[in-house]
Amino acid sequence: MVLPTRKDGTAATEAGAAAERSGAETPPGGVPGPKGPEGRARGGGPGDGRKRGRRRFGGPLVVTVFLFPAMLLFAMLVLVPIGVALYTSLFRWGGFGRPENFVGLENFRRLFQDEVFLGDLWRGLVLIVLALVLQLPFALAMAVMLNQRMRGRAVYRLVFFAPYVLSEVITGVLFTMIFDPGGGLADQTLEALGLGDHGIGWFSESSTVLPTLFLVLTWKYFGFHMILYLAALQNVPAEVLEAASIDGAGPWQRFRHVTLPLLGPTLRITVFLSIIWSIQLFDLVWVISGGGPVHASETMAITMFEYGFKRYQMGYANAISVVMFLLSFVFALFYQRYVMRRDIEGAVTARGGL
């Protein structure tokens, strides 16, 4: 059927309307085209090219290219040293040339018969217990105090966090001067208070070196835990505390039954970090006491350094490093699997919900 053409284009308009009713698309030229899946297959919308570009640049090859530098650095700086340490721990090797005197597990058998190393394990356990019982509760108490409305609390936060910013070497030198027997600030303070009239061997006596060392460690690291606790306290909803107060809960009950459970993830993180740091403790102890006197403050890392770089028993030192790595690795797996499981699952669920 041929429609008559009018000057005002009425025929073309009617043809376009008929084409739309029949499911066809009418381009600007007036010739109807196919509509639906066939039309979309021939020519998509303006966003289709961008979608294809995103798919093209988001494939496995691109991901591999971007991850390769990081994975290469991780392999060179982490995996390869672990493999070398594990390999050389099976040899009696002085650190020069190729290891040739294969002894198998002899270094590990000797390790667990070494009184110094067994003492390192005991001292590490003591420091872990002291950190969990004294250092972390003290940091939590300071965080709760500084979370209250008080004049100058920003200054107090800065002062308490400042020791963590100092390097371990500076901290060690500073406290070596403070606890200098006879002329140090600690002895002068005790003498002024009438609590002592002679120098105390803070770092030179076996009975005092470990408690004094823990005091220095607490001064150095409690500010870090305090800031973590303070950040978690500021995320506790005020409405929840207000509701508990309306229900008749006192300050201690609100803290015990409301605040403390909400601090659970942060508490578990700080416990994890404290234990790992205690296992790997080296630089601060090395600067202050060098592990002395008579191994009274020695840690596994210091024993490893002594055997590796002073006695040139690199195979035995690497056996110590392997044990340190296994202790840290196994503890991290166990802790994340059984203690931090809810925190990790909650983080993954929240991320998936985004």
Q: Is residue 305 part of a domain?
A: yes
Q: Is residue 56 part of a domain?
A: no
274, with CB counted inside 10 A (0-12, 13-18, 19+), is buried
Nearest partner of 234 among 345, 349, 153, judged by Cα: 153
What's the first-to-final CA gap in the chain, in angstroms? 58
Is the confidence at residue 352, as pLDDT, over 70? Answer: no
> Is residue 323 a contact partner of residue 106, using CB atoms and an 8 Å limit?
no
Is the confidence at residue 178, as pLDDT, over 60? Answer: yes
Nearest partner of 158 among 220, 227, 234, judged by Cα: 227
Number of domains in the chain: 1
Instruction: Determine the average pLDDT of the residues in 214-230.
Output: 96
Is the confidence at residue 348, as pLDDT, over 60? Answer: no
Instruction: Determine the average pLDDT of the residues in 42-57.
Output: 53
Q: Which DSSP state fits 34? A: E
Residue 190 pLDDT grade (very low, low, confident, very high; cuts 50, 70, 90): confident
Tokens of 186: 């600690």
Helix (H) or strand (E) holding 24: strand 24-25
List pLDDT tens digits, range 100-129.
899 999 999 999 999 999 999 999 999 999
Distance CA 229, CA 259 (A): 11
Q: Could you tell me which residue, 39 or 346, shows the higher pLDDT?
A: 346
Residue 8 pLDDT grade (very low, low, confident, very high; cuts 50, 70, 90): very low
pLDDT at res. 188: 87
Tokens of 35: 């509509």
Is the confidence at residue 187, as pLDDT, over 90? Answer: no
In Å, how far are 128, 138, 263 from 235, measured between CA atoms? 28, 20, 9
Q: Is residue 90 part of a domain?
A: no
pLDDT at res. 31: 47
Distance CA 53, CA 65 (A): 17
Backbone angles phi, psi at 289, to 5 degrees: -125, -15
Distance CA 339, CA 336 (A): 6
Residue 198 pLDDT grade (very low, low, confident, very high; cuts 50, 70, 90): low
**β partners of residue 198:** none
Instruction: Determine the average pLDDT of the residues in 337-353.
Output: 67
For CA atoms 5, 7, 9, 10, give the dihedral sign. Answer: negative
Distance CA 161, CA 227 (A): 7
CA-only gyration radius of the chain, Å: 34
Q: Is residue 65 part of a domain?
A: no
Is the confidence at residue 80, as pLDDT, over 90? Answer: yes
Q: Could you tell me which residue, 285 or 8, shows the higher pLDDT?
A: 285
Nearest partner of 90 among 107, 70, 113, 74, judged by Cα: 107
Residue with tokens 């059984």: 338
Is the confidence at residue 48, as pLDDT, over 80? Answer: no
Residue 226 pLDDT grade (very low, low, confident, very high; cuts 50, 70, 90): very high
Q: Is residue 85 part of a domain?
A: no
In Å, how far are 110, 216, 231, 262, 269 from 265, measured between CA atoms? 40, 27, 12, 8, 6
User: What average pLDDT does the chain have?
Assistant: 84
pTM for this entry: 0.78
Instruction: Determine the average pLDDT of the residues in 131-156.
Output: 93
With a pLDDT cut of 90, the percent of the chain lying above it is 61
Q: Is residue 105 part of a domain?
A: no
Helix (H) or strand (E) holding 331: helix 314-338
pLDDT at res. 195: 77
Question: Domain span at residue 180?
Answer: 110-353
Is the confidence at residue 19, as pLDDT, over 90? Answer: no
Is the confidence at residue 304, as pLDDT, over 70? Answer: yes
> Is residue 263 a contact partner of residue 233, using CB atoms and an 8 Å limit?
yes
Q: Which DSSP state fits 3? A: P
For CA atoms 13, 18, 23, 29, give the dihedral sign. Answer: negative
- CATH of residue 123: 1.10.3720.10
Q: Is residue 200 part of a domain?
A: yes
Q: Map residue 242 onto helix, strand or coil.
A: helix
Is the confidence at residue 170, as pLDDT, over 70? Answer: yes
Q: Is residue 123 part of a domain?
A: yes
Distance CA 11, CA 30 (A): 10
Nearest partner of 306 among 328, 333, 286, judged by Cα: 286
Length of the chain: 354
